């Protein structure tokens, strides 16, 4: 993961990067182990294209390191993150539920995206 800072103030505003999810993970994925791309930015920096810019750079770095299969997932309700995933060329792969959350929890239902970086 990489720290993200505001270009003007040099304030830390979040992180963007790849996360390795091992076979021993609690996630219900048959593809384990896998690499997930993700981002978390402070709300005041949302909607400025920063997640998209950082995610594109992260995918380029993944490809340089011969990591070609990359996933990303978010809550079905998080349309902004889904838009970022689509802007960087990812497509919907599947939907799943996080196993340790109540069926009423806002984050229970997740959507997973995928991109293959092989050329």
- Give the CA angle between residues 12, 14, 19 to the nearest 5°: 135
Using 50, 70 and 90 to split pLDDT, how confident is the model at 99?
A: confident
Instruction: Provide the percentage of residues in the chain whose pLDDT is more than 90.
Output: 89
CATH number of 51's domain = 3.40.630.30
Using 50, 70 and 90 to split pLDDT, how confident is the model at 28?
A: confident
Q: Over the stretch 65-77, which tens digit does the pLDDT of each residue have?
A: 999 999 999 999 9
Q: What does DSSP say about strands 34-41 and 69-75: parallel, antiparallel, or unpaired?
A: parallel
How far, in whole angstroms, is CA 16 from its chain's centroid?
8
Q: Which domain holds residue 54?
A: 2-116
Look at residue 5 and tell me whether its pLDDT is greater than 90: yes
| Distance separating alpha carbons of residues 64 and 50, to the nearest angstrom | 21
86 Cβ contact partners less than 8 Å away, ≥ 6 residues apart: 113
Please state the domain count of the chain: 1
Average pLDDT over every residue of 74-100? 96
Average pLDDT over every residue of 95-114? 94
Kindly state the tokens that stand for 64: 């340089």
Confidence (pLDDT) at 119: 76
Confidence (pLDDT) at 102: 94
Angle, in degrees to the nearest 10, between helices 79-87 and 50-64: 50
């Amino acid at each position: 993961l990489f720290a993200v800072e505001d270009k003007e103030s040099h304030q830390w505003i979040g992180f963007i990067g790849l996360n390795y999810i091992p076979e021993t993970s609690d996630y219900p994925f048959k593809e384990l182990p896998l690499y997930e791309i993700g981002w978390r930015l402070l709300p005041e920096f949302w909607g400025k294209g920063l997640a998209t810019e950082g995610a594109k750079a992260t995918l380029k770095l993944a490809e340089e390191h011969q990591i070609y299969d990359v996933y990303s997932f978010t809550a079905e309700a998080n349309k902004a993150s889904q838009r970022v995933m689509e802007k960087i060329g990812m497509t919907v792969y599947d939907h799943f539920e996080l196993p340790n959350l109540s069926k009423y929890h806002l984050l229970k239902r997740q959507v997973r995206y995928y991109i293959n970086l092989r050329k």
